[in-house]
């Protein structure tokens, strides 16, 4: 039980450009909110956030909804990250010089910066993206290359980290980036809680990549895709051969990639992922062991208990009883 928590482990300050995309902001902050507390009371215990504007003017989103500022521009000592949510491109030339100056100042103070949606344009215009690669929505790639022909960009990544600068195309990719940062600064459990609370159906999730239930970060993009698929299909695990087919590689190649990245096979990794998910549910929900076993992709409770005891050296019931006590 948490009795006190003096300072959140993760504080993100947001800068909103005129006509910014609301989903990029709300998705990121909702992930922080769910990870910030135990339960759903929205206390800022583990994570906190600020909407920064020097004159405390509200930011106008592209859908016309204003978002109030909660603080003036904060000093670097109070921030772990600064995220700029970019404008519609028709407003990119009207981003105030003060924003560019503030971003450069934070960069000089070694505060990691985040560009959401066209926020990557704002970072590039501020001269911060030199020798770095930006992750962009395909719709913006040509405009970025025309505006910054000497800078690199990619359009097939949900987000990129490059020398202390993070860029994401916006939309649901902001959630994936947020959960990654939550896991780094808070805990795997808090990142998993954010994903669990914001779960969408398989059809809705589409190609969303959220790395939250296991924090082994992969360098190879094919492994990242495989892990993402595993996370989205915890309750309906597939055969490794079927996963390899989805990725367009052989089962043997997938096996080698996983052993190179993690030292274990994809089959073991997937099982660990399901068991970690089951363990988190035992500790954070009141669901029955049978229901948790089903949601973790086991056909019956006995198989779940067998594998759980093998991995954690105790039964689900003992774990839950010890936690409750």
**What's residue 201's pLDDT?**
43
B/e letters for 2-39, b = 16+ CB within 10 Å, e = fewer, are: eeeeeebbbbbbbbbbbbbbbbbbbbbbbbbbbbbbee
Distance in angstroms (rounded) separating the CA atoms of residues 190 and 66: 29
Tell me: the pLDDT tens digits for 178-201? 999 998 898 777 887 787 777 644
Which DSSP string do the residues of 78-141 spell out, in sequence order? G-SEEEEE---GGGGGGS-HHHHHHHHHHHHTT--EEEETTHHHHHHHTT--TT-EEE--HHHH
Cβ–Cβ under 8 Å, residues 37 and 49:
no
Q: C-alpha distances in angstroms, 194 versus 3, 79, 300? A: 21, 21, 27
Percent of the chain past pLDDT 70, that is, above it, reads 91
- What is the number of alpha carbons within 13 Å of residue 192 lying toward its C-beta? 21
Domains in the chain and their CATH numbers? 10-176 (3.40.50.880), 213-325 (1.10.10.60)
Q: C-alpha distances in angstroms, 282 versus 194, 232, 267, 289, 298? A: 16, 19, 23, 7, 15
Which range among 8-22, 149-163, 171-185 has the greatest average pLDDT? 8-22
Percent of the chain past pLDDT 90, that is, above it, reads 65
- Residues found in the chain: 325
- Choose among 83, 35, 41: nearest CA to 59: 83
Distance in angstroms (rounded) separating the CA atoms of residues 12 and 86: 16
Contacts of residue 98, defined as CB under 8 A and 6 or more positions apart, other chains included, come to: 54
- Choose among 78, 127, 77: nearest CA to 99: 127
Tell me: the pLDDT tens digits for 216-261? 566 788 888 888 788 778 888 889 999 999 899 999 999 999 999 9
Stated pTM of the model:
0.66
């Amino acid at each position: 039980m948490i009795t006190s928590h003096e300072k959140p482990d993760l504080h993100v300050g947001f800068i909103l450009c005129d006509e910014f995309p609301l989903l990029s902001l709300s998705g990121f902050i909702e992930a922080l909110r769910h990870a910030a507390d135990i339960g759903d009371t929205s206390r800022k215990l583990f994570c906190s956030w600020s909407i920064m504007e020097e004159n405390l003017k509200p930011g106008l989103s592209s859908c016309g909804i204003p978002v109030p500022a909660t603080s003036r521009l904060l000093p670097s000592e109070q921030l772990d990250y600064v995220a700029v949510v970019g404008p519609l491109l028709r407003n990119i030339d009207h981003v105030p010089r003060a924003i560019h100056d503030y971003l450069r100042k934070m960069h000089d103070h070694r505060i990691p910066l985040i560009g959401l949606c066209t926020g990557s344009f704002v970072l590039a215009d501020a001269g911060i993206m030199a020798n770095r690669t930006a992750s962009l929505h395909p719709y913006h790639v040509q405009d970025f290359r025309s505006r910054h022909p000497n800078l690199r960009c990619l359009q097939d990544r949900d987000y990129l980290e490059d020398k202390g600068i993070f860029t994401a195309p916006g939309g649901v990719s902001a959630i994936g980036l947020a959960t990654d940062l939550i896991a780094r600064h808070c805990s795997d459990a808090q990142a998993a809680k954010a994903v669990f609370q914001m779960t969408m159906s398989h059809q809705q999730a589409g190609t969303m990549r959220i790395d939250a239930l296991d924090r082994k970060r992969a360098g190879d993009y094919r492994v990242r895709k495989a892990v993402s698929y595993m996370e989205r299909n915890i309750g309906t695990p597939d055969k490794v051969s079927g996963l390899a087919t989805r990725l367009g590689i052989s089962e043997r190649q997938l096996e080698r990639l996983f052993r190179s990245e993690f030292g274990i096979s994809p089959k073991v990794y997937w099982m660990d992922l399901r068991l970690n998910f089951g363990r988190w549910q035992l500790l954070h929900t009141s669901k029955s062991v049978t229901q948790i076993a089903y949601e973790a992709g086991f056909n019956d409770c006995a198989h779940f208990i067998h594998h759980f005891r093998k991995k954690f050296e105790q039964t689900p019931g003992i774990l839950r009883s010890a936690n409750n006590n």
